[in-house]
Structure 1
Amino acid sequence: MKALLIYPIFPPTFWSYEKILELVNRKVLLPPLGLVTVAGILPQEWEFKLVDRNIRAVTEDEWAWADVVIMSAMIVQKDDLINQIKEAKKRNKLVAVGGPYPTSVPHELEEAGADFFILDEGEITLPMFVEAIERGDTAGVFRTTEKPDVTVTPIPRFDLLELDAYDSMSVQFSRGCPFQCEFCDIIVLYGRKPRTKTPEQLLKELDCLYELGWRRSVFMVDDNFIGNKRNVKLLLKALKEWQQEHQYPFRFNTEASVDLADDPELMELMVDCYFDAVFLGIETPDEESLAMTKKFQNTRSSLTEAVDKIIRTGLRPMAGFIIGFDGEEKGAGDRIVRFAEQVGIPTTTFAMLQALPNTALWHRLEKEGRLNTGKYGNINQTTLMNFVPTRPVEDIANEYVDAFWRLYDPHAYLDRAYRCFLKLGAPKAHPPAKLPSLVDLKALGIVLWRQGIKRDTRWKFWHHLFSIIKNNPGVWEHYLTLCAHNEHFLEYREIVKNDINAQLEEYLSNYRSPDEVMSDGEAMVA
């Protein structure tokens, strides 16, 4: 079999980082780990070609070559996934789909023409698909309620990737999360019992990347890297030795629950292994909202103190925030901004609450008759919430746009990053010094020109940079990278503002009376 693997386009999102990637001459932040894992599970006597449409389009020669087309997607990739299914069917190709979006709502892809639905986790359902292909079947749905043992998952086919196009590489150690957050679909897709690979297994994946010549950052894509603390510590002890032996070729970052701060040994091991950043699902500083959404792990101790501990250990925090929880009081956006400023979290992904398919939140809102899964049901930072909230949508939307705008004001962002990096623990890993590439020097020059000369941030930029070099010299390069990140956010906050205001104007026109729209629509437009 000749299998053409296609990864659909991501629209611009908080994580797409287009402006940053332009600076370093790369196309995409992260590769399609799911598809290269699929290629590792399928029979190795098959032939494979992979096209990441975030890098380039599928060629006619590739369409003609394929016996079967296999696609995987998240909800945010829905539109291009449907378009690519239709393109494949125009050419009379067998089409198989899988991944988080098809698994959550497979009925949405039936009309597009997909033939095979390889749902849930591929270690179990991909062999079912292979058996069907070998029988000569031309359609089928393959599902399982069983959670596979990921210690049998083969090394992903990283060799299929156009490595030079990516800024970071992805690996996965665990699946699942022990917590019960009402809005989260991870526990629906992968369960609440974290399953991990063996340390030896993950190190073989790193060996593969190393042999392919990869020498940049690696993202542990686990939705909660520390879900199984015992096993992750075993991994980190082995990884520490591997990094030392290979002279620290990779920097790591990952996602973790905020209770990471309760385990100093775990944080120290991460820093020893050259982890330098961690994404934390903080969601909101409002304890009532955290309790409402069953995110109890964030209410057991001070969030401010927890984030401070993580920073001082040497892990730069990235934080997720959400607005629009049931029972939320007015001013939630302002409280989120004040919290991020107080603690010093430079990068804060921020969105209005969305009910993801099949989550506990989805089922509760469906039972209450509050779901709106139509036009505004896409999952992104630029879409209105897909349900009727307990306070006016326009209040939430206005607070959201205002908070996003303030968080990524160039002065506020520089100040927040500066406060974070003044207290950020210095890295313990010391890779061999190397000369910067011409691409890196060009990117540095652009950042220095824009933020240190052209914009009115010039005095603040130079003051903060020299102060970091003087007071915390071990982190100045990392700090400059964070300065560069705001090139993306400056543009993205415009997208957020324009898209949300346009949707809100349409929402108010369609769902409220003309008198109501006239009374407060003016404030929304402003």
Structure 2
Amino acid sequence: MKVLLVQPSRLEPDGSVYRNKTRWLLGMTLPYLAALTPPGIDVAIKDDLYEDIDFGEPCDLVGLTCMSHQASRAYQIADEFRKRGVPVVIGGFHATLAPDEALQHADGVVIGEAEGVWSKVLEDAASGHLEGRYLSSQLSDLKGLPTPRYDLLDLSRYRIPNLPAQTTRGCPYACSYCEVTQVYGARFRYRPPEEVVEEVRVLMSLGKRKFVYFVDDIFNAHRKHAFAVMEGLRPLNVAWTCLCTANVGDDAEMLDLMRASGCRHINIGMESVSPESLKSVNKKQNHADKYAEQFAAIRKRGIEFSLNVMFGLDGDTKESFDATVTKLIEYRAPLSFMFILSPRVGLKIRDELMAQGRIDHSDWDRYHSYECVFEPKNMTREELEDGFWRAQRQFYSYGSIAKRILFPPNRHTIQSLIPNLFFRWGVNRKIHPLTYY
């Protein structure tokens, strides 16, 4: 039996497939699914972004995963294989939250996590009788997880030399703009620390990648577990990066151990500098009045950080763009990834906006977070998009770059300068930094 796993690209406004020679960041979903596949089954992975899909390639099952902005392309790929009699199964956030839609283009949909159902999917595909919906009766306990099959990918195609791993799954919070609790549940789960450390040891033995990227939604959510993982990492001399909540800056002991164990970068979902906007999306864990102190504590340890910012929240006004950039410069944020609120399928905030008559289409190709697809509360759609691009140009202006990372210089100055200049080139041409990933 041969299984082909495909990572879809996305469609351009003219309907063409977005292509690039490389992808910036390596993902772990399909390599991990390949690792879940039992021995004896031939598995291949294709990345639709940089390589052509041969729809005539002999295979017994095609597996696809997608986010909302990739759904249309995923459906195109699925339809082409099914025309040729090849069964298709689709998973990922979008299919999990829109299974009826996905089933119009697939023979099976994996709803939620794959651990409890993937073997059943493979058995049914082999017998020629896929059931349609596959939903595990329980969430994975994350014990004994296999190491992702990165050997199935051409790692030279990914510009950032990272290898993804995970230590936890789920989220204890319930932000209305996020799918995590719907897909992974509100219960926070974590892998045995010794298994995480052993996986990192294996990943580092590959020899060609420079650091590990922990894909957990919140690395610091379970303090005792995070400490156990970091203590295990210390002897490995490995560089790593992760996602954390802003309140990691309140925990000096954790920051010290992060640095000592090899942490070089933290990505933080700051979302907004406005308390009203944070409240509007139930972001209770963030406190805007603490940001300056929290980010200063991270910077003091020599750990680089990046901040995610979201515009279009109900507390935002036309003044929010300039106010946000002013604060980002004040925080000396090395990098900031800015987005427009994207009320994707299955989200609580989508239900709220739909009830208010503020969403008028479900063209998933446009749900990529740098176009307004809903009616903002305190400005027009055009004002939101114009302010969004203006804020990015201001943040990546030469003056801003100088204030944030050049004066005074630090150990990360050169490391931060290169992406800042690259993103400056892009945003001045309305190329969103997200596009590079």
- TM-score (ref. length: structure 1): 0.75
Structure-2 residue corresponding to 1:69: 62
Aligned mate of 1:318, from 290, 306, 312? 306
CA shift at 1:147, angstroms?
Answer: 1.9
* SS of residue in 1 equivalent to 2:143: helix
Task: Specify whether residues 377 and 211 from structure 1 end up closer, same or farther in structure 2 by C-alpha distance, changes over 3 A only.
Answer: closer
* SS of residue in 2 equivalent to 1:307: helix
Instruction: Find the aligned partners of 1:66 and 1:100 in 2 and give their Cα distance.
Output: 25
CA shift at 1:138, angstroms?
Answer: 4.0
Aligned mate of 1:29, from 24, 27, 30? 24
CA shift at 1:376, angstroms?
Answer: 7.2
Structure-1 residue corresponding to 2:245: 257
Structure-2 residue corresponding to 1:522: none
CA shift at 1:118, angstroms?
Answer: 1.5
Aligned mate of 1:117, from 103, 109, 115? 109
Task: Specify whether residues 318 and 11 from structure 1 end up closer, same or farther in structure 2 by C-alpha distance, changes over 3 A only.
Answer: farther
- Please say if residues 45 and 153 of structure 2, whose CA atoms lie closer than 8 Å, have aligned partners that are also in contact: yes
Alignment deviations for residues 440-484 of structure 1 (CA, whole Å, 9 cap, x no partner) = xxxxxxxxxxxxxxxxxxxxxxxxxxxx3xxx4xx1xx3222221
* SS of residue in 2 equivalent to 1:118: strand
CA shift at 1:100, angstroms?
Answer: 1.4
* SS of residue in 2 equivalent to 1:297: coil
CA shift at 1:145, angstroms?
Answer: 6.1
Structure-2 residue corresponding to 1:293: 281
CA shift at 1:66, angstroms?
Answer: 1.1
Structure 1 residues 201-350: aligned runs within 5 Å: 201-241=195-235, 243=236, 248=237, 250-299=238-287, 302-350=290-338
Q: Which has the larger radius of gyration?
A: 1
Structure-1 residue corresponding to 2:90: 97
* SS of residue in 2 equivalent to 1:129: helix
Q: What letter corresponds to residue 50 of structure 1 in structure 2? A: I
Q: What letter corresponds to residue 153 of structure 1 in structure 2? A: L
Q: RMSD between aligned alpha carbons? A: 2.4
Instruction: Find the aligned partners of 1:123 and 1:389 in 2 and give their Cα distance.
Output: 41
* SS of residue in 2 equivalent to 1:152: coil
Structure-2 residue corresponding to 1:450: none
Alignment deviations for residues 82-133 of structure 1 (CA, whole Å, 9 cap, x no partner) = 221123123321111111121122233333x311112200011213313423
Q: What letter corresponds to residue 154 of structure 1 in structure 2? A: P
Instruction: Find the aligned partners of 2:317 and 2:60 in 1 and give their Cα distance.
Output: 55
Structure 1 residues 438-449: aligned runs within 5 Å: none
Aligned mate of 2:187, from 193, 216, 219? 193
CA shift at 1:341, angstroms?
Answer: 0.7
Task: Specify whether residues 191 and 55 from structure 1 end up closer, same or farther in structure 2 by C-alpha distance, changes over 3 A only.
Answer: same
Aligned mate of 1:162, from 138, 154, 164? 154
- Please say if residues 193 and 229 of structure 2, whose CA atoms lie closer than 8 Å, have aligned partners that are also in contact: yes
- Please say if residues 156 and 205 of structure 1, whose CA atoms lie closer than 8 Å, have aligned partners that are also in contact: no
- Structure 2 unaligned residues grouped into runs of 5+: 13-17, 433-437
Task: Specify whether residues 133 and 381 from structure 1 end up closer, same or farther in structure 2 by C-alpha distance, changes over 3 A only.
Answer: closer
CA shift at 1:387, angstroms?
Answer: 4.3
CA shift at 1:199, angstroms?
Answer: 1.6
- Structure 1 unaligned residues grouped into runs of 5+: 13-17, 423-467, 499-526
Structure-2 residue corresponding to 1:86: 79
Q: What letter corresponds to residue 67 of structure 1 in structure 2? A: D
Structure-1 residue corresponding to 2:403: 415
Q: Percent identity?
A: 23
* SS of residue in 2 equivalent to 1:215: coil
Structure 1 residues 386-465: aligned runs within 5 Å: 386-419=374-407, 422=408
Q: What letter corresponds to residue 226 of structure 2 in structure 1? A: V
Structure-2 residue corresponding to 1:435: none
- TM-score (ref. length: structure 2): 0.90
Task: Specify whether residues 401 and 326 from structure 1 end up closer, same or farther in structure 2 by C-alpha distance, changes over 3 A only.
Answer: same
CA shift at 1:403, angstroms?
Answer: 0.9
* SS of residue in 1 equivalent to 2:203: helix
Instruction: Find the aligned partners of 2:199 and 2:72 in 1 and give their Cα distance.
Output: 32
- Please say if residues 61 and 125 of structure 2, whose CA atoms lie closer than 8 Å, have aligned partners that are also in contact: no
CA shift at 1:383, angstroms?
Answer: 1.3
Instruction: Find the aligned partners of 2:289 and 2:169 in 1 and give their Cα distance.
Output: 26
